[in-house]
């Protein structure tokens, strides 16, 4: 009977017949396509090896970093210089990194050690893996201890490195510091604070006796910290000062020493504005109106550009308000003590701040108030009636019992709260109002008023630059045509013109305002320019001019460098900036103004002036169509500066000593040479080269004076030393 195969039996296996004993057959490896291969035992070791190598490299990098960082007491740090950071910042950053790195590494080693110990405690004594766990736990513990030692060593190194850098930084503190730190280009008066703390630290091992300061302006001071005010540029006016410090100290043996430190150079280049605030009275009743006057402020080496006032600010809460003039008016409404400050600024942005105390007391005196409505010009008109009202007058201590007006025009005084009054003639009048209360206290106020004559119409007068010729009907120019319009010559009988309006193109829309304006016509055409003036009485007057603008023509332009200097003077002229939008410039005609013939040449050239004087150099740009335009530049040629100078063959020797003096190095147009060998003011010799014999021993101050035809002189000096044989 044939054997049947069991479909559930794997291929290659045999099933025993019934009744037969089954013989064990070793299992054969089965290859199954697509199955995941088991993990290789070496993968874990490779991963651990990479991690160990990475940690090792980090440690090597730290060691190299510490080497390049330098020893704790090193003056320099090559690594900090290489990366361009402050050494202290670098040390602090490394300290943070070292702590994070070693803490992380210690944590890992500790966990590995504890895991190994835990596995050892669970493994049986005959378990082959137990020895492996013991080894791993021991290695982890050793690495943990090494890590802690490295960590501690790094911390100690970085600690001393930081301390060393801090000590170096302290040593770098300058002996003298100042506030302000920058002592150049200062404005006087200025207070400078000098501090010798650096010198104190430098001499900390000694007993300092005194700090002596010489401020360089004939004044001195004492103390580690002093403040000194430089009031001006000094007696010589140079503005240069050198502040010096000398420290006196003694050592442990009691021996005294002194050390002078390099001076601090102070440069005063500007003097602040100086002056005072003037007020008629600094004390008054509230509300107290005060007129401040700072018109006596002067700037001796520049000009004042602004005045700014703060009337009621306190402490640092100051708000300065600029005013156009040096005078200001302010009303203090509440009683109290006020410190008014004025800030005066010059053209070099230096300012002076001064104060004025104002005392405002509680009001007790009646306070008159004059109210009336003048014309828009601020004046009254003769023959016209006006209402004067005192109804807003007050009496703080009682009630008003009496009002009295005096209009200052020799009319009778009027006892009334309100009154109509007419001035019969023009002029300046002073209105006085007196108010009396029930306590018999009287307050008086005066106010000046301008009374003008009956108004007359103004007359508009327009002038232009360039000016229109009397024979021309229109003002003509070429694009771009810039015209300056001037209405300052307009007249008004009352002298109260308040408005100037300009229409440049005749479209009835006013384009600009003011007595003087400038307008540039950029398009070709004919325009009607109109001036309208209005006075305070609303009277008007007009003036017109026709402006004809032609296409752009040839326009000459010249630049010269230099425009002044000593003879002979070479000047570079450049007319290449000349333009001709509608044509071509073909040549340039030059006239140098010194009498030499005119010449046709290129746009750029250099000309040498050999005469002394002021010359108007002209260039005419010539177009291909023979159109021309001329412009000029002024060149000033001066004489060679008179400068005395002489050379000697020897400066000393045994008597008798023969010395040759030569003055050929002197410059300028020299008329005469005068030699004085005894410094007594006598003229011993004359001439360019002099031979002089010094018979006796001594020191001789030799003077040379030269002079030109105009009587200008200059001197030079030298010293000759003659010794005995």
What letter would DSSP give residue 708?
-
Is residue 340 within 8 A of residue 310, CB to CB? The reply is: yes
Instruction: Return d(Cα 161, Cα 94) in angstroms, integer.
Output: 11
Q: Is 667 exposed, middle or buried (0-12, 13-18, 19+ CB in 10 A)?
A: middle
| DSSP-based three-state secondary structure for 115 | helix
Q: Which of 311-325, 471-485, 648-662, 697-711 has the lowest mean pLDDT?
A: 311-325
**Sorting pLDDT into bands at 50, 70 and 90, what band is 157?**
confident
Distance CA 384, CA 453 (A): 10
Residues 6 or more apart in contact with residue 529 via CB below 8 angstroms: 462, 483, 485, 502, 503, 504, 505, 506, 519, 544, 545, 546, 547
Interatomic CA distance for residues 3 and 15, integer angstroms = 10
The answer to whether the beta carbons of residues 569 and 501 sit under 8 Å apart is no
For 382-431, how does the pLDDT look when each residue is reduced to its tens digit (9 = 90+)?
877 889 999 999 998 889 999 999 999 999 999 999 998 989 899 999 99
Q: Which of 158, 159, 225 is nearest to 192 (CA)?
A: 225
To 5 degrees, how large is the angle CA 164–CA 169–CA 171?
95
Average pLDDT value for residue range 2-26: 43
pLDDT tens for each residue of 630-689? 999 999 998 888 899 999 999 999 999 999 999 999 988 899 999 998 876 778 889 999
The whole-number average pLDDT for the span 554-579 is: 93
Read off the pLDDT of each residue in 236-259 and give the average, rounded to a whole number.
92
Q: What is the mean pLDDT of residues 116-138?
A: 77
N- to C-terminal Cα distance for the chain? Answer: 159
Q: Which secondary structure element, helix H or strand E, spans residue 464, and what is its range?
A: strand 463-465
Distance between CA atoms of residues 247 and 637, nearest Å: 56
Cβ atoms of residues 267 and 246 within 8 Å: no
Least confident of 117-126, 428-437, 562-571: 117-126
Do residues 389 and 371 touch, judged by C-beta distance below 8 A?
Answer: yes
pLDDT tens digit sequence for 208-230:
999 999 999 999 999 999 999 99
- Read off the pLDDT band of 5 (50, 70, 90): very low
- Specify the higher pLDDT residue, 205 or 31: 205
> Would you state the pLDDT for residue 29?
46
Place of tokens 């050793």: 142
Element (H, E) at 357: strand 351-361
pLDDT at 51: 59
Whether the per-residue pLDDT at 444 is higher than 50: the answer is yes
Lowest mean pLDDT among 244-253, 372-381, 562-571, 699-708: 372-381
Q: Locate 123 and state its tokens.
A: 């493994």
Q: State the DSSP string of 196-255.
A: -HHHHHHTTTSEEEEEEEE-SSS-EEESSEEEEEE-SS-TTS--EEEEEEEEEEE-TT--
Residue 164's CB is within 10 A of a number of other CB atoms, namely 19
The pLDDT, as a whole number, for residue 166 is 65
Mean pLDDT of the chain: 85
Distance between CA atoms of 672 and 669, rounded to whole angstroms? 10
| Tens-digit pLDDT profile for residues 325-371 | 789 999 999 999 999 999 999 999 899 999 999 999 988 899 899 99
Give the neighbor-by-neighbor strand order of the sheet with 288-293.
278-279, 288-293, 327-332
Residue 35 has a pLDDT of 45
Mean pLDDT check: name the lowest of 90-94, 170-174, 479-483. Answer: 170-174
Phi, psi dihedrals of residue 481, rounded to the nearest 5°: -110, 105
Structure tokens at 445: 């106020």
Retrieve residue 323's tokens: 């005013």
Could you tell me which residues are beta bridge partners of residue 528?
Answer: 546
Residue 559: pLDDT over 80: yes
Across residues 696-718, what is the average pLDDT? 91
DSSP letter for each residue of 523-571: S-EEEEEEEEEEETT--EEEEEEEEEEEPP--B---EEE-SEEESSEEE
Q: DSSP states of 116-138 as a string?
A: HHHHHHHS-TT-HHHHHHHHHHH
What tokens appear for 638 in the block? 């001066």
**Tell me, what's the pLDDT at 257?**
92
Distances 265 to 154, 188, 202, 226, 645 between C-alpha atoms, Å = 46, 15, 21, 16, 32
Q: How confident is the model at residue 375 (pLDDT cuts 50, 70, 90)?
A: confident
Tens of pLDDT, residue by residue over 477-488, are 888 899 999 999
The CA distance from 354 to 292, in Å, is 12
pLDDT band, residue 236 (cuts 50/70/90): confident
Q: How confident is the model at residue 286 (pLDDT cuts 50, 70, 90)?
A: confident
Helix H, strand E, coil C: the string for 399-463 is CEEEEEEECCCCCCCECCCEEEEECCCCEEEEEEEEEEECCCCEEEEEEEEEEECCCCCCECCCE
Please say whether the beta carbons of 531 and 511 come within 8 A.
Answer: no
User: How far is it, in rounded angstroms, from Cα 549 to Cα 526?
Assistant: 6
Q: How far is CA 417 from CA 119, 333, 374, 400, 439, in A?
A: 115, 24, 19, 10, 18
**pLDDT tens readout for residues 512-525:** 999 999 999 999 99
pLDDT of residue 11: 42
Strand partners, 332: 288
Lowest model confidence (mean pLDDT) among 275-279, 327-331, 492-496: 492-496
Note the pTM of the prediction, 2 decimals: 0.38
So what's the pLDDT on residue 13?
42
């Amino acid at each position: 009977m044939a054997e049947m195969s069991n479909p559930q039996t794997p291929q290659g296996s045999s099933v025993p017949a019934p009744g037969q004993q089954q013989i064990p057959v070793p299992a054969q490896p089965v290859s199954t396509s697509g199955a995941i291969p088991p993990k290789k035992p070496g993968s874990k070791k490779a991963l651990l090896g990479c991690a160990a190598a990475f940690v090792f490299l980090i440690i090597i990098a730290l060691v190299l970093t510490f080497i390049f960082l330098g020893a704790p007491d090193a003056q320099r740090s090559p690594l900090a210089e290489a990366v361009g950071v402050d050494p202290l910042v670098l040390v602090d950053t490394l300290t943070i990194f070292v702590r994070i790195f070693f803490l992380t590494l210690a944590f890992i080693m500790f966990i590995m050690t504890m895991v190994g110990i835990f596995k050892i405690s669970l493994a049986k004594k005959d378990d082959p893996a137990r020895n492996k766990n013991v080894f791993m736990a021991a290695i982890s513990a050793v690495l943990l201890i090494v890590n802690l030692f490295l960590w501690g060593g790094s911390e100690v190194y970085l600690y001393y490195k930081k301390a060393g850098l801090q000590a170096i930084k302290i040593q770098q503190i300058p002996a003298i510091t100042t506030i302000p730190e920058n002592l150049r280009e200062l404005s006087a008066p200025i207070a400078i604070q000098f501090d010798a703390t650096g010198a104190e630290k430098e001499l900390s091992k000694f007993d300092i006796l005194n700090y002596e300061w010489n401020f360089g302006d004939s004044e001195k001071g004492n103390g580690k910290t002093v403040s000194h005010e430089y009031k001006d540029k000094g007696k010589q006016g140079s503005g240069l000062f050198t502040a010096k410090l000398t420290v006196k100290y003694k050592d442990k043996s009691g021996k005294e020493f002194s050390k002078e430190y390099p001076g601090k150079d102070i440069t005063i280049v500007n003097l602040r504005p100086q002056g005072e605030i003037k007020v008629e009275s600094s004390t008054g009743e509230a509300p107290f109106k005060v007129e401040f006057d700072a018109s006596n402020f002067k700037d001796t080496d520049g000009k004042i550009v602004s005045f700014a006032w703060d009337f009621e600010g306190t402490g640092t809460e100051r708000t300065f308000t600029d005013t156009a003039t040096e005078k200001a008016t302010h009303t203090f409404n509440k009683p109290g003590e006020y410190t008014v400050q004025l800030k005066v600024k010059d053209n070099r942005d230096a300012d002076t701040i001064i104060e004025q105390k104002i005392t405002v007391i509680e009001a007790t005196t009646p306070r008159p108030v004059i109210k009336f409505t003048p014309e828009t010009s601020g004046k009254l008109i003769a023959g016209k009636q006006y209402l004067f009202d005192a109804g807003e007058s007050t009496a703080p201590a009682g009630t008003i019992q009496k009002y009295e007006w005096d209009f200052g025009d020799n009319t009778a005084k009027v006892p009334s709260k309100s009154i109509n009054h007419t001035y019969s003639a023009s002029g300046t009048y002073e209105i006085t109002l007196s108010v009396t209360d029930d306590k018999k206290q009287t307050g008086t106020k005066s106010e000046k008023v301008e009374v003008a004559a009956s108004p007359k119409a103004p007359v508009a007068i327009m002038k232009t630059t360039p000016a229109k010729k009397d024979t021309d009907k229109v003002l003509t120019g070429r694009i771009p045509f810039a015209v300056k319009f001037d209405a300052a010559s307009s007249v008004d009988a009352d002298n109260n013109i308040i408005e100037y309006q300009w229409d440049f193109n005749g479209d009835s829309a006013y384009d600009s305002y003011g007595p003087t304006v400038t307008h540039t016509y950029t398009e070709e055409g004919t325009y009607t320019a109109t001036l309208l003036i209005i006075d305070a009485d609303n009277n008007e007057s007009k003036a017109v001019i026709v402006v004809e603008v032609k296409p752009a023509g040839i326009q000459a332009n010249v630049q010269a460098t230099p425009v002044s200097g000593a003879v002979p003077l070479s000047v570079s002229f450049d007319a290449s900036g000349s333009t001709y939008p509608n044509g071509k410039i073909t040549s340039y005609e030059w006239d140098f103004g010194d009498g030499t013939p005119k010449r046709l040449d290129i746009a750029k050239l250099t000309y040498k002036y050999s005469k002394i004087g002021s010359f108007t150099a002209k260039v005419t740009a010539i177009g291909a169509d023979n159109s021309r335009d001329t412009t000029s530049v002024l060149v000033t040629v001066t004489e060679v500066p008179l400068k005395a100078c002489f050379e000697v063959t020897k400066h000393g020797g045994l008597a008798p000593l023969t010395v040759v003096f030569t003055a050929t190095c002197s410059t300028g147009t020299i008329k005469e040479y005068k030699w004085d060998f005894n410094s007594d003011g006598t003229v011993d010799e004359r001439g360019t080269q002099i031979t002089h014999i010094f018979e006796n021993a001594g020191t001789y101050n030799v003077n040379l004076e030269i002079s030109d035809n105009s009587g200008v002189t200059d001197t030079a000096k030298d010293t000759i030393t003659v010794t005995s044989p």
